[in-house]
Structure 1
Amino acid sequence: MANRQFVQAMESIKKADQSYDLQEQTKLLLQADKLLSNILVQSPESPLAVQLSTNQFVGDFDYNDFKSRIRSLACNDAQSTGCFLYRIEGLIQPVDYPITAPRWDWLSLAVAHYHLGDKERTKQIIAPFIAAFRRAPPVTDTGRDLFLGRALSLTGEVDMALDITRRINDCSTRIYNLTDISQALIWKGDKGQAGKLVEEAAEYAQANNCAWELGLVAEGFYKAGNEARAHTMFLNTVEEQFSRFKDRKGNCCAPELAVAAGDLGDPNLALGLLRTVQQESPWTIPAVLGRLGARGEMQLATTYAEQVQDTDIKAETFVQLMADALKTGDRKQAEALSGRIDKLLSAGTDPKPLILAQRARADKLLFKDQRWRNTYLAGLSAAERSNSGDTQRKDIAVPMLAALVEIETGTPMLQ
């Protein structure tokens, strides 16, 4: 059966290659794709299925190249989400095999596919990382999990994420993963289980003297609804870390403590902590200021944001503050912040892909319709231009994905 289906698939591909009619070509290619997928499902032990699933050539047929061609069909509609994902994949550096290093760009793409409609593609991307982890489990002095804990929790595989996480004896990775998995459960509506995982993180931190990560745990308690526990842990952590570093130069605190301060601390304390960490961890700027805006400290947060030099970060912060303003019904404030993003776009002539991505987020917040797609498309085209030749940017795909996922799902799961 597998051989017959393969021959039929090759005939469909040949007919598609000979057709000048786009609809007919698409129909034939999708027909071939279904036949090849049937081989994998119905005859998984057959030699053909093994060759296809491991991306080996079958004669001169390259299944991996064919699947890329199938995905590109989404770009018959240039503004479709499928086309956006296909083009973003083209911005990502290929994976080096054997896999030995984390690749959050590829795993972010897997998360995006999971939530935006192509779960089959999600498994194709994540599977090699799982295999790499199982071949060489991380040792205790590195704690590296290849970002699998976070990616798996965001793609519905919470049990597998926890299994990986609990095999890691490293403060940072263990606690980051537990709080990430907790957040994923909160987005799914399971605050009860989320709270248990934060408690597990707190117990691990206490047993292993993980003082640096306590800001994460405090924030985890806050998100899980245990505000009293969150405030107590936050205040104790601030006092302990300030006393530990008061006689030393440099940063006193973990960036995650600054983020927790945005929710739990005095606004001036939050900004003070932010100043100590923002240079090395610029992602904290929209995180802290967005939290302050949500607490009603809009003027304070906006004034601070205006002083930020990095225009990409500034645009992201303005969008976060826009969301805060709209939640309180202050559309006038949101529109004023939207105008600030437009000023960033109009300054200079350099391509501004990430600012355009934030402009698309702002469009979705303000208008609740599909006009954001045109703006996002412009940002993606600018990203492709900035990612060519000697000006290649290796960091551009993940923030483009983060913006797209938040626009489509309403949750900042890749931020």
Structure 2
Amino acid sequence: MSLCLTESWALPALRPVTGRGGMLAVWSAVRAPFWLVALALLSLLLLLAPAARAQADQNAAANRQFVLAMQAIQHADQTYNAEEQTTLLLEADRLLTDIITRLPESALAVQLVTNQFIGDFDYAQFKTKLRSLVCSDPKSSRCLLHRIEGLIPPVEYPIATPRWDWLSFAVASYHIGDKERVRPIVAPFLQAMRNGSASSDISQDLFVGRTLALTGEIDLALLITRGFADCSTRIYNLSDIVESLVWEGNMSTATQVAEEAVEFARTQGCAWELGLVAQSLLRVGLEARARTLFLNTVEEQFSRFKDKRGNCCPPELAVAAGDLGDANLALGLLRTVQEESPWVIPQVLGKLEARGEKALTLTYADQLQDMDLKAETYVELISGALRAKDRSQADLLSARLDKVVNDMRSPVVLVQRARADKLMYSDQRWRGSFQTALSEAERGAGQRRDLAVPFLAALVQIETGRPMLE
């Protein structure tokens, strides 16, 4: 009896497919004789074998490398030699990074990239430990910055409010730390602002535009700023961008942006923000126009207030008065706004001190009741006295600051001593003062969530000479 292959017993066509398609090919072959089914399965296995071998090879290589990294970390934890510990931890980091870049298809690479625990190994904690290596020199600015980061509460997702502490840390990282950390910090806040999915505080961009300007992203800062139609956000951002450009020495673009602020204020009838516009004109060297705008604004604001047609006055107008108005006018505006905006006190008094107004500013500062604010004000007065080349006045103010430090050793008061040391002395004694203040902050970190901000502002100003985070 001969064996005939009918159409129903014919070998199904095999296609080089895998996964779901491969299972269908096997299912369609069930009606074929056993040897034909076996042949189909063998063909399918031959197709899958190279990929499986490659996956197994990557996993094996990643596992070997991971073991070497863990051994390096274990040895680092057991050594007393700081230099050897650094070498071992950096080698472990190299091995782990290589798993991600060279063996991306391995299971370990996926776990590392997504910060999953691998046994009891926490990759995110390891990266934090790596950053702490900067503290091999505990007084270095990078070590101080690393310790300040420990004071910042974690970001809560979804982002619902601007976080000036993390954005300040991004600015500090850009100027004195690790620039690679800037974008990962800023990007979520930028995205939340663009989406408009967060609170109105984010959508009105209180800090994102300023952060972008202070981290070299001027074009993006301008693009975002021009998307806001309200006077406050638009002019605040333009003013911040002018200041950043002046610090960079880009006076041509700074002047163009200042003129843009003038034109926007004129066409949109922005009255409350004209103090900021005047400051921008002054920064780019257009003093005559700045003074004219300032005086006209003061007259208008006082007239509206007198006729009970509005409040008087915006705090920025008082700050502008420190540069452009006489002492009595500046102090009068300061008294009007200081209750709701106490931050203007050190700025206005410091500007007046630089203009030689010693008696009035000292009397005003001595009467302040808030010790943190008082200490900050004394530092601004010291800065003003030194700009006026009055060393004896600076020494007097330094003694007043010492009394505040002795009476109330709060972290913010102590960090003001570090700022004063940087201003008054050419050595590095400020680092010791900063360390003392930071240790005090770390002890009381659970009592105040906002301690990182004044420390970041102080460190950035000390290192750059510019009040970027005031």
* TM-score scaled by length of structure 1: 0.90
Alpha-carbon deviations, 1:32-72, whole Å to 9, x = none?
A: 33455567778999997776565455676543222211112
Q: Secondary structure at the match of 2:272?
A: helix
Which of 310, 324, 327 is the matching residue for 2:384?
A: 324
Decide whether the 8 Å contact of 1:108 with 1:151 is kept in 2: yes
- Equivalent-residue separation in structure 2 for 1:45 and 1:234 (angstroms): 64
> Which has the higher mean CA deviation after the structures are superposed, 51-60 or 165-174?
51-60
Query: Per-residue displacement from partner, 1:93-140 (whole Å, max 9, x unpaired)?
Result: 111111121000100011111110310122232122223233337899
SS of the residue aligned with 1:211? coil
Confirm whether residue 403 of structure 1 aligns to residue 458 of structure 2. Answer: yes
Q: In the alignment, which of 68, 78, 93 is matched to residue 11 of structure 1?
A: 68
Corresponding position of 1:262: 322
Deviates more, 1:197-206 or 1:242-251: 242-251
Q: Hey, what does 2:432 align to over in structure 1?
A: 374
Tell me if the contact between 2:422 and 2:430 (Cα under 8 Å) persists in the aligned partners: yes
- Name stretches of at least 5 consecutive residues in structure 1 with no aligned partner: none
Query: Per the alignment, do residues 6 and 27 of structure 1 end up closer, same or farther by CA in structure 2, a change over 3 Å counting?
Result: farther
CA distance in 1, matches of 2:318, 2:424: 29
Which residue is 1:190 aligned to?
A: 250
Shift of residue 266 of structure 1? 1.5
Q: Where in structure 2 are the equivalents of 1:356-375 lying within 5 Å?
A: 356-375=414-433
* Matching of residue 31 in structure 1 with residue 91 in structure 2: yes
Which amino acid counterpart does residue 337 of structure 1 have in structure 2? L
Report what 2:445 is aligned to: 387
Q: Does the 8 Å contact 1:10/1:32 carry over to 2? A: no
- Cα distance in 1 between the residues matched to 2:393 and 2:70: 55
Does the residue aligned with 1:178 lie in a helix, a strand or coil? helix
Q: Percent identity?
A: 60
Does 1:413 find its partner at 2:434? Answer: no
Amino acid at match of 2:378: F
Q: Which moved more, 1:223-232 or 1:57-66?
A: 57-66
1:400 corresponds to which letter in structure 2?
A: F
Structure 2 letter corresponding to 1:226: L
Total equivalences in the alignment: 410
CA contact (8 A) 2:196 2:202 kept: no
Residue pairs, 1:99-178, within 5 angstroms: 99-136=159-196, 143-145=203-205, 147-178=207-238
Please tell me the root mean square deviation across aligned C-alpha atoms, in Å: 2.7
Q: Give the AA of the match of 2:454.
A: P
| SS of residue paired to 1:384 | helix
Is the contact between residue 143 and residue 169 of structure 1 (CA under 8 Å) also seen in structure 2?
Answer: no
Q: What secondary structure does 1:163 align onto? A: helix
Q: 2:147 aligns with which of 78, 87, 90?
A: 87
* Residues 86 and 164 of structure 1, relative CA distance in 2, 3 Å threshold: same
On the 8 A contact 1:8/1:32 being kept in 2, the answer is: no
Q: Is the CA contact 1:133–1:146 (under 8 Å) kept in the aligned structure 2?
A: no
Q: Aligned ranges for residues 199-238 of structure 1 at < 5 Å?
A: 199-238=259-298
Name the structure 1 match of 2:356.
296
User: What TM-score do you get using the length of structure 2 for normalisation?
Assistant: 0.80
Counterpart Cα distance in 1 of 2:368 and 2:450: 20
Gaps of 5+ in 2: 1-56
Distance 1:2 1:291 in 2: 64
Distance 1:404 1:10 in 2: 40
* 1:353 pairs with 2:411: yes
